[in-house]
Structure 1
Amino acid sequence: MTSPINALTTQAGSTPGPQYQPPWDFITIDTNTGVGGEYIYIGYQLGDSNPVTSLNFVAYDQAQSNPPSGWNWNPQDLNAGAGGKYIYMIWKMGEANKKPITAITLLAVSNSSPPAIEGYTSINQDLNQGAGGPYIWPYFSTVVPMEMKKEAVTRKGVVA
Protein backbone atom coordinates (compact mmCIF):
# COMPACT_ATOMS: atom_id res chain seq x y z
CA MET A 1 0.00 0.00 0.00
CA THR A 2 1.26 3.44 -0.92
CA SER A 3 1.70 5.80 2.02
CA PRO A 4 0.12 9.21 1.43
CA ILE A 5 1.70 12.55 2.22
CA ASN A 6 0.44 13.75 5.59
CA ALA A 7 2.62 16.80 6.30
CA LEU A 8 4.15 19.58 4.19
CA THR A 9 6.76 22.24 4.90
CA THR A 10 9.42 24.33 3.19
CA GLN A 11 13.11 24.85 3.78
CA ALA A 12 14.75 28.15 2.82
CA GLY A 13 18.38 29.15 3.07
CA SER A 14 21.41 30.76 1.49
CA THR A 15 23.12 27.51 0.48
CA PRO A 16 22.06 24.89 -2.07
CA GLY A 17 20.35 21.90 -0.56
CA PRO A 18 18.07 20.65 0.55
CA GLN A 19 19.75 20.34 3.93
CA TYR A 20 19.30 17.20 6.05
CA GLN A 21 16.37 17.83 8.41
CA PRO A 22 14.81 14.64 9.84
CA PRO A 23 12.03 13.56 9.81
CA TRP A 24 11.43 15.53 6.59
CA ASP A 25 12.24 14.49 3.03
CA PHE A 26 12.58 17.21 0.38
CA ILE A 27 11.98 17.56 -3.34
CA THR A 28 15.41 18.39 -4.75
CA ILE A 29 14.30 21.16 -7.14
CA ASP A 30 14.77 24.69 -5.78
CA THR A 31 11.59 26.77 -6.29
CA ASN A 32 13.89 29.67 -7.28
CA THR A 33 15.77 27.68 -9.93
CA GLY A 34 17.42 30.03 -12.41
CA VAL A 35 16.32 33.28 -10.76
CA GLY A 36 18.54 33.76 -7.70
CA GLY A 37 17.05 34.56 -4.33
CA GLU A 38 16.93 32.05 -1.50
CA TYR A 39 17.24 28.31 -2.06
CA ILE A 40 13.76 27.00 -1.27
CA TYR A 41 12.68 23.36 -1.16
CA ILE A 42 9.33 21.69 -0.52
CA GLY A 43 9.38 19.09 2.23
CA TYR A 44 6.99 16.29 3.05
CA GLN A 45 6.35 13.40 5.40
CA LEU A 46 4.55 10.17 4.59
CA GLY A 47 2.00 8.54 6.86
CA ASP A 48 -1.50 7.13 6.92
CA SER A 49 -3.08 9.55 9.41
CA ASN A 50 -4.86 12.67 8.15
CA PRO A 51 -3.48 12.66 4.57
CA VAL A 52 -3.18 15.68 2.30
CA THR A 53 -6.10 15.52 -0.15
CA SER A 54 -5.83 18.86 -2.00
CA LEU A 55 -2.74 20.84 -3.01
CA ASN A 56 -2.45 24.18 -4.74
CA PHE A 57 -0.04 27.08 -5.19
CA VAL A 58 -1.33 30.66 -5.19
CA ALA A 59 0.34 33.88 -6.41
CA TYR A 60 -0.19 37.38 -5.01
CA ASP A 61 1.16 40.86 -5.75
CA GLN A 62 2.09 41.37 -2.08
CA ALA A 63 3.07 39.27 0.92
CA GLN A 64 0.24 37.44 2.71
CA SER A 65 -0.13 36.86 6.44
CA ASN A 66 -2.90 34.24 6.30
CA PRO A 67 -3.89 31.39 3.98
CA PRO A 68 -7.09 31.44 1.93
CA SER A 69 -10.11 30.46 4.02
CA GLY A 70 -10.32 26.71 4.65
CA TRP A 71 -6.72 25.98 3.59
CA ASN A 72 -3.53 25.13 5.49
CA TRP A 73 -0.30 26.74 4.35
CA ASN A 74 3.33 27.37 4.90
CA PRO A 75 3.95 31.15 5.07
CA GLN A 76 7.21 30.85 3.10
CA ASP A 77 7.12 32.84 -0.16
CA LEU A 78 8.40 30.32 -2.71
CA ASN A 79 9.84 33.22 -4.75
CA ALA A 80 11.66 34.87 -1.80
CA GLY A 81 14.54 37.09 -2.86
CA ALA A 82 13.95 36.52 -6.58
CA GLY A 83 11.35 39.21 -7.29
CA GLY A 84 8.12 38.40 -9.06
CA LYS A 85 4.91 37.26 -7.43
CA TYR A 86 4.59 36.11 -3.82
CA ILE A 87 3.79 32.41 -4.19
CA TYR A 88 2.54 30.16 -1.42
CA MET A 89 1.86 26.44 -1.08
CA ILE A 90 -1.60 25.66 0.31
CA TRP A 91 -3.30 22.34 1.08
CA LYS A 92 -6.28 20.60 2.65
CA MET A 93 -6.22 17.40 4.67
CA GLY A 94 -8.61 14.52 5.21
CA GLU A 95 -11.37 15.68 2.87
CA ALA A 96 -14.18 13.14 2.50
CA ASN A 97 -14.44 11.46 -0.92
CA LYS A 98 -11.01 12.70 -2.07
CA LYS A 99 -8.05 10.43 -2.71
CA PRO A 100 -4.95 11.10 -0.62
CA ILE A 101 -1.99 12.68 -2.40
CA THR A 102 0.87 10.18 -2.62
CA ALA A 103 3.53 12.16 -4.52
CA ILE A 104 4.55 15.69 -5.44
CA THR A 105 7.09 16.69 -8.06
CA LEU A 106 8.35 19.88 -9.69
CA LEU A 107 9.46 20.27 -13.30
CA ALA A 108 11.71 23.18 -14.40
CA VAL A 109 11.28 23.65 -18.16
CA SER A 110 11.03 26.29 -20.89
CA ASN A 111 7.40 25.28 -21.66
CA SER A 112 4.88 28.04 -20.95
CA SER A 113 2.31 25.41 -19.94
CA PRO A 114 2.89 22.30 -17.84
CA PRO A 115 3.72 19.22 -19.94
CA ALA A 116 1.84 16.03 -19.14
CA ILE A 117 3.50 13.55 -16.78
CA GLU A 118 1.90 10.12 -16.66
CA GLY A 119 0.23 9.45 -13.30
CA TYR A 120 0.40 13.11 -12.22
CA THR A 121 -1.99 16.08 -12.26
CA SER A 122 -0.42 19.44 -13.09
CA ILE A 123 -1.10 22.55 -11.05
CA ASN A 124 -1.25 25.50 -13.42
CA GLN A 125 0.92 27.89 -11.37
CA ASP A 126 4.45 28.74 -12.45
CA LEU A 127 6.51 28.90 -9.24
CA ASN A 128 8.84 31.44 -10.94
CA GLN A 129 5.97 33.72 -12.04
CA GLY A 130 7.23 37.26 -12.55
CA ALA A 131 10.84 36.39 -11.63
CA GLY A 132 12.03 35.22 -15.07
CA GLY A 133 14.02 32.03 -15.46
CA PRO A 134 12.51 28.67 -16.37
CA TYR A 135 8.91 27.80 -15.70
CA ILE A 136 8.61 25.61 -12.62
CA TRP A 137 5.44 23.53 -12.77
CA PRO A 138 4.18 21.65 -9.70
CA TYR A 139 2.41 18.29 -9.97
CA PHE A 140 0.76 15.85 -7.60
CA SER A 141 -0.31 12.23 -7.85
CA THR A 142 -2.82 10.04 -6.06
CA VAL A 143 -1.41 6.85 -7.63
CA VAL A 144 2.39 7.18 -7.89
CA PRO A 145 4.24 6.51 -4.63
CA MET A 146 6.83 9.05 -3.52
CA GLU A 147 9.27 6.19 -2.84
CA MET A 148 9.07 5.03 -6.47
CA LYS A 149 9.76 8.54 -7.74
CA LYS A 150 12.84 8.77 -5.50
CA GLU A 151 14.08 5.41 -6.74
CA ALA A 152 13.62 6.49 -10.36
CA VAL A 153 15.64 9.67 -9.72
CA THR A 154 18.34 7.78 -7.84
CA ARG A 155 18.64 5.26 -10.66
CA LYS A 156 19.02 7.98 -13.33
CA GLY A 157 15.64 7.67 -14.94
CA VAL A 158 15.26 3.88 -14.87
CA VAL A 159 11.63 3.43 -13.88
CA ALA A 160 10.66 0.15 -12.25
Structure 2
Amino acid sequence: MKAVNNVVVTVGGQTIPGYTRDPIDLNWGAGGAYLYLSYELVENPPNPITDLTVIWGDSPDISAPAGYEKINHDLNEGAEGKWIYFCIRRGGPDGPVRDLKIIAGDSADTQPEAGWERIPVDLNAGSGGKFIYACQRR
Protein backbone atom coordinates (compact mmCIF):
# COMPACT_ATOMS: atom_id res chain seq x y z
CA MET A 1 0.00 0.00 0.00
CA LYS A 2 1.20 3.51 -0.80
CA ALA A 3 2.22 5.90 1.96
CA VAL A 4 3.62 9.43 2.12
CA ASN A 5 7.40 9.27 1.96
CA ASN A 6 8.29 12.97 1.77
CA VAL A 7 6.74 16.45 1.95
CA VAL A 8 7.97 19.70 0.42
CA VAL A 9 6.58 23.17 -0.24
CA THR A 10 6.75 24.16 -3.90
CA VAL A 11 6.62 27.72 -5.24
CA GLY A 12 4.67 29.06 -8.23
CA GLY A 13 4.49 26.58 -11.09
CA GLN A 14 7.28 24.40 -9.69
CA THR A 15 6.64 20.67 -9.88
CA ILE A 16 8.82 17.78 -8.77
CA PRO A 17 8.80 14.52 -10.74
CA GLY A 18 7.15 11.76 -8.71
CA TYR A 19 5.41 14.20 -6.34
CA THR A 20 1.73 15.11 -6.16
CA ARG A 21 1.11 18.85 -5.93
CA ASP A 22 -2.11 19.87 -4.18
CA PRO A 23 -3.85 22.54 -6.31
CA ILE A 24 -4.77 24.92 -3.45
CA ASP A 25 -2.47 27.93 -2.96
CA LEU A 26 -1.40 27.99 0.71
CA ASN A 27 -1.59 31.82 0.60
CA TRP A 28 -4.99 32.00 -1.14
CA GLY A 29 -6.45 35.46 -0.61
CA ALA A 30 -3.57 36.63 1.60
CA GLY A 31 -1.12 37.79 -1.06
CA GLY A 32 2.42 36.59 -0.86
CA ALA A 33 4.09 33.80 -2.80
CA TYR A 34 2.08 31.09 -4.53
CA LEU A 35 2.90 28.08 -2.33
CA TYR A 36 1.74 24.48 -2.65
CA LEU A 37 1.95 21.30 -0.59
CA SER A 38 3.74 18.65 -2.63
CA TYR A 39 4.24 15.11 -1.42
CA GLU A 40 5.71 11.83 -2.57
CA LEU A 41 3.59 8.68 -2.39
CA VAL A 42 5.64 5.48 -2.44
CA GLU A 43 4.65 1.82 -2.38
CA ASN A 44 5.68 0.41 1.04
CA PRO A 45 8.35 3.00 1.94
CA PRO A 46 10.79 1.77 4.62
CA ASN A 47 10.35 4.87 6.83
CA PRO A 48 7.05 6.58 5.94
CA ILE A 49 5.69 9.77 7.43
CA THR A 50 3.36 8.90 10.31
CA ASP A 51 2.16 12.39 11.19
CA LEU A 52 2.01 15.87 9.70
CA THR A 53 1.54 18.82 12.03
CA VAL A 54 1.76 22.60 11.76
CA ILE A 55 3.64 25.00 14.03
CA TRP A 56 3.38 28.77 14.10
CA GLY A 57 4.79 31.73 15.96
CA ASP A 58 5.98 35.32 15.84
CA SER A 59 9.46 34.54 14.51
CA PRO A 60 11.11 32.00 12.19
CA ASP A 61 13.05 30.55 15.12
CA ILE A 62 10.25 28.27 16.30
CA SER A 63 11.30 24.68 16.79
CA ALA A 64 9.59 21.48 15.76
CA PRO A 65 7.97 19.44 18.53
CA ALA A 66 10.06 16.58 19.93
CA GLY A 67 10.29 13.74 17.41
CA TYR A 68 9.32 15.96 14.44
CA GLU A 69 11.33 17.48 11.60
CA LYS A 70 10.53 21.06 10.55
CA ILE A 71 10.04 21.65 6.81
CA ASN A 72 11.94 24.93 6.67
CA HIS A 73 9.67 26.94 4.34
CA ASP A 74 7.42 29.64 5.83
CA LEU A 75 3.87 28.97 4.64
CA ASN A 76 3.10 32.71 4.87
CA GLU A 77 6.06 33.67 2.67
CA GLY A 78 5.51 37.15 1.29
CA ALA A 79 2.27 37.68 3.24
CA GLU A 80 1.73 39.36 6.57
CA GLY A 81 0.98 37.05 9.44
CA LYS A 82 2.52 34.39 11.62
CA TRP A 83 5.53 32.27 10.71
CA ILE A 84 3.98 28.90 9.85
CA TYR A 85 5.74 25.61 9.07
CA PHE A 86 4.86 22.00 8.35
CA CYS A 87 6.54 19.41 10.56
CA ILE A 88 6.70 15.67 9.89
CA ARG A 89 7.25 12.66 12.10
CA ARG A 90 8.49 9.25 11.05
CA GLY A 91 7.78 6.35 13.38
CA GLY A 92 5.81 6.74 16.55
CA PRO A 93 2.48 5.26 17.60
CA ASP A 94 0.47 6.12 14.47
CA GLY A 95 0.37 4.18 11.23
CA PRO A 96 1.66 5.71 8.00
CA VAL A 97 -0.03 8.69 6.39
CA ARG A 98 -1.64 7.41 3.18
CA ASP A 99 -2.68 10.73 1.65
CA LEU A 100 -2.54 14.49 2.18
CA LYS A 101 -4.64 17.38 0.96
CA ILE A 102 -5.38 21.03 1.57
CA ILE A 103 -8.89 22.38 2.17
CA ALA A 104 -10.00 26.03 2.06
CA GLY A 105 -13.13 27.89 3.06
CA ASP A 106 -14.59 31.14 4.30
CA SER A 107 -14.75 30.17 7.99
CA ALA A 108 -12.78 28.42 10.69
CA ASP A 109 -15.46 25.71 10.61
CA THR A 110 -14.22 24.40 7.26
CA GLN A 111 -13.96 20.61 7.59
CA PRO A 112 -12.82 17.77 5.31
CA GLU A 113 -15.06 14.87 4.37
CA ALA A 114 -15.25 11.76 6.54
CA GLY A 115 -12.04 9.75 6.85
CA TRP A 116 -9.74 12.79 6.86
CA GLU A 117 -8.10 14.40 9.89
CA ARG A 118 -7.89 18.21 9.76
CA ILE A 119 -4.77 19.70 11.34
CA PRO A 120 -6.27 22.51 13.45
CA VAL A 121 -4.01 25.42 12.43
CA ASP A 122 -5.17 27.94 9.80
CA LEU A 123 -2.30 28.16 7.31
CA ASN A 124 -3.22 31.82 6.70
CA ALA A 125 -3.16 32.71 10.44
CA GLY A 126 -2.71 36.44 10.89
CA SER A 127 -2.61 37.21 7.16
CA GLY A 128 -6.26 37.23 6.11
CA GLY A 129 -7.48 35.37 3.07
CA LYS A 130 -9.24 32.01 3.06
CA PHE A 131 -9.16 29.67 6.04
CA ILE A 132 -6.76 26.98 4.87
CA TYR A 133 -6.05 23.66 6.57
CA ALA A 134 -3.84 20.68 5.86
CA CYS A 135 -5.52 17.27 6.17
CA GLN A 136 -4.13 13.75 6.41
CA ARG A 137 -5.59 10.29 5.99
CA ARG A 138 -4.11 7.18 7.55
TM-score normalised by length of structure 1: 0.78
* Matching residue of 1:7: 6
Contact 1:113 1:124 in 2 (8 A): no
- Of 81, 104, 109, the match for 1:108: 104
User: Runs ≥4 in structure 1, deviation > 4 angstroms?
Assistant: none
CA distance in 1, matches of 2:15, 2:53: 25
- Which letter does structure 2 place at the counterpart of 1:23? G
The structure with the largest alpha-carbon Rg is 1
* Matching residue of 1:158: none
Contact 2:103 2:112 in 1 (8 A): no
Following superposition, the deviation at residue 54 of structure 1 comes to 1.1
Following superposition, the deviation at residue 138 of structure 1 comes to 1.4
- Which letter does structure 1 place at the counterpart of 2:28? T
- Which letter does structure 2 place at the counterpart of 1:94? G
CA distance in 1, matches of 2:66, 2:91: 16
Following superposition, the deviation at residue 53 of structure 1 comes to 0.6
CA distance in 2, matches of 1:114, 1:77: 22
Q: For structure 1, which runs of at least 5 residues remain unmatched after alignment?
A: 143-160
Following superposition, the deviation at residue 116 of structure 1 comes to 4.2
* Matching residue of 2:83: 86
CA distance in 2, matches of 1:67, 1:138: 17
- Which letter does structure 2 place at the counterpart of 1:37? G
